[in-house]
Amino acid sequence: MRGLATVPNYVIMQPTTLCNLDCEYCYLPLRAADHRMPVAVAEAVAADVNRWAGPGFSVVWHGGEPLAAGRDHLAALVAPFSDSITHHVQTNATLIDDAWAEFFLTHRFRVSVSVDGPPARNDLRRTRGGRPAYDRIERGIATLRRHGIDFAALCVVSQPTDGLATELYQYFLGLGCDVLGLNIEETEGVNRRSNAFAAGPVQRFWAELTTVWRADPRIHVREIEWSLRYLAAVLDGTADDLLPRQLDPIPTIGHDGSVHVLSPELAGFNDPRYGDFAAGNVRDRPLAEILVDAPARGWVPEFLRGVEACRASCPYFGFCGGAHAANRYFEHGRFDGTQTNHCRNSKIRLLEGVLDHARDHGPRPAERTY
Amino acid sequence: MPETTARDQLSARIDALGPAVSDLLTEADGARTDRDEDAVERGLAAWNHFDNIPTFYNWNNRPR
């Protein structure tokens, strides 16, 4: 895997910067303001996306809270995209009512909700008035179930501890999500809370998750599936072919038409050395042209050197593909470093935790024959 | 190079756990079938599409 592809497999769109919640760990800098994406920006993006779109090409609506843009405005933003596009939304679910459920069905949206487990685990999820948001989250999810809408869930884990993985997995089994992703909290954006967790609890968290999932694998757990995919490749000798030939640029189009590649967490920030981190603006140039230039502009060359540094130095590179841009910047202050806390928490400890589970719950390791 | 040695050591540890990992992989395959993940109509979140995983959701790129 070398360099940055110039054609993406999906784009992320920010219909509004506003979020109706004010979660303590949120990295978004503009979430108290309602800056909405003009339809002209969506039209500009759709001009290229519709050419690229093949089976499974996705447009991911993210924010802020995408539903805070309102149904009429979100429908207007969706309208320029061709019917072959799959639309996804990542939502806190608090605004989901019967009308939103009908919207999802009409526009064939795939829905993913942000929820951190049982009520007590959502204590950092608060309304702007400081009240717990869980009841509203649960009500929105119940609405999805009532309308027969499948949904995924993203769970932020703020402090890995023994017993937590079991508690969370049991909760999500009851919630009824099809797919579950777990994000160990990251220090990025405006979130300056430390994620420098000790290795032991993190690794045991992932091992415990694998154990409890294996006992009842009704949910597709992202981190476990990715680990298993890598382990299978190692065992059949194809691990070197697992990473993509080039990084997907993963363009995020901000409310104002700005384009950020690789890490949307950089949007809204400014740095004396890197400027606003944007690769361009679709109001000025087509997205396709911006992505052709992106690998050689701004911070991206430094990041690509950082990926090479990871390749040369980290035994887990074949599993990970290199530390992510936002984690590099917000943890190290630049893009050409290597291991981050996020690498350790969500890649290295993950793989080692799954291996620990296999060691402790499987046949004896292969014995030497000499 | 020390890093190559470390990578080889990781691969060797995985190989040494081969029977246990293989059992886990076999069960996981069965679980995917039970979850009907091959069905075209079944929607997976964009951030978890097997061939389309965004770093935004904190994973590395995958080819389509």
A270-283, pLDDT tens digit by residue? Answer: 999 999 999 999 99
Q: In one letter, which amino acid is A171?
A: Y
Listed residue (A170, A167, A156, A147) closest to A218, CA to CA? A170
Least confident piece of the model among A43-57, A187-201, A216-230, A267-281 = A187-201
CB-based contact, A355 to chain B, within 8 Å: yes
Contacts of A324 in chain B (CB under 8 A): 55, 58, 60
Tell me the chain B residues in contact with residue A355 when contact means C-beta distances shorter than 8 Å: 13-14, 17, 21
Whether B10 and A316 lie within 8 Å, measured CB to CB: yes
Average pLDDT, stretch A24-32? 76
Strands A220-221 and A58-61: unpaired
Does ipTM surpass 0.95 in this model? no
Size of interface A-B (CB pairs under 8 A): 181
Higher pLDDT, B33 or A77: A77
A60 touches B at CB < 8 Å? yes
Q: What is the mean pLDDT of chain A?
A: 91
Q: A91 pairs with which residues across the strands?
A: A113
Q: pLDDT at position A144, please?
A: 97
Using CB atoms, which residue from B17, B19, B22 is nearest to A355?
Answer: B17
Using alpha carbons, list the distances in angstroms from residue A120 to A113, A124, A194, A287, A323: 17, 9, 21, 43, 32
What is the band of B44 on the pLDDT scale with cuts at 50, 70, 90?
Answer: very low
Give the one of A58, A228, A320 whose C-beta lies nearest to B24's C-beta: A228
pLDDT band for B8, please (50, 70, 90 cuts). confident
Q: Alpha-carbon distance A370 to A368, whole Å?
A: 6
Name which of A7, A14, A60, A169 to mutate to probe chain B: the one with the most chain B Cβ atoms within 10 A of its Cβ: A60
Mutate to test the interface with A, among B1, B7, B56 (most CBs of A within 10 A): B56
Work out the percent of chain B whose per-residue pLDDT is above 70. 50
Query: Is a pLDDT exceeding 80 seen at residue B48?
Result: no
Selected for mutation to probe chain A from B11, B26, B55 (highest A CB count within 10 Å) is B55
**Range in A268-277, B12-21, B36-45 with the lowest mean pLDDT:** B36-45
pLDDT reported for residue A365: 55
pLDDT score at A264: 83
Does the pLDDT at position A56 exceed 80?
Answer: no
Rounded mean pLDDT, A189-198: 74
Mean pLDDT of A127-153: 93
Partner-chain contact B61 A243, CB within 8 Å: yes
Q: Which of A247, A346, A363 sits opposite B58 (nearest CB)?
A: A346
**pLDDT score at A79:** 98
Query: What pLDDT is recorded for position A350?
Result: 96
Cut 0.95: pTM above it: no
Distances (CA, A) of A340 to A196, A265, A323, A351: 9, 15, 7, 16
pLDDT at A26: 76
User: Is the pLDDT assigned to residue A57 strictly greater than 90?
Assistant: no
**Position B26: which residue type?**
T
CB spacing of A363 vs B20 below 8 angstroms:
yes
Residue A327 contacts residue A195 (beta carbons within 8 Å)? no
DSSP state of A275: B
- Would you state the pLDDT for residue B63? 26
What mean pLDDT comes out for the span A190-214? 89
**Does position A241 have pLDDT exceeding 90, yes or no?**
no
Shortest Cα distance, chain B CAs vs residue A360, angstroms: 9
Q: Is the pLDDT of residue A192 over 80?
A: no
**Would you call A231 and B14 a contact, using CB atoms and an 8 Å cutoff?**
yes
Residues 253-292 of A with CB under 8 A from B: 262-265
Query: Rg (Cα) of chain B, in Å, rounded?
Result: 16
In the predicted structure, residue A193 carries a pLDDT above the cut 60: yes
Report, as an integer, the average pLDDT of A175-198.
Answer: 80
pLDDT of B43 higher than 50: no
Tell me, what's the pLDDT at A314?
94
Minimum Cα–Cα distance from B20: chain A residue? A362
A339/B63: higher pLDDT: A339
A11 touches chain B (CB under 8 A): no
**Greatest mean pLDDT range, A1-5, A48-52, A225-229, A359-363:** A48-52
Residue of A nearest to B8 (CA): A315
Residue A275 β-bridge partners: A271
**What's the burial of A47, exposed, middle or buried (CB within 10 Å: 0-12/13-18/19+)?**
middle
**pLDDT band at residue A23 using 50, 70 and 90 as cut-offs:** confident
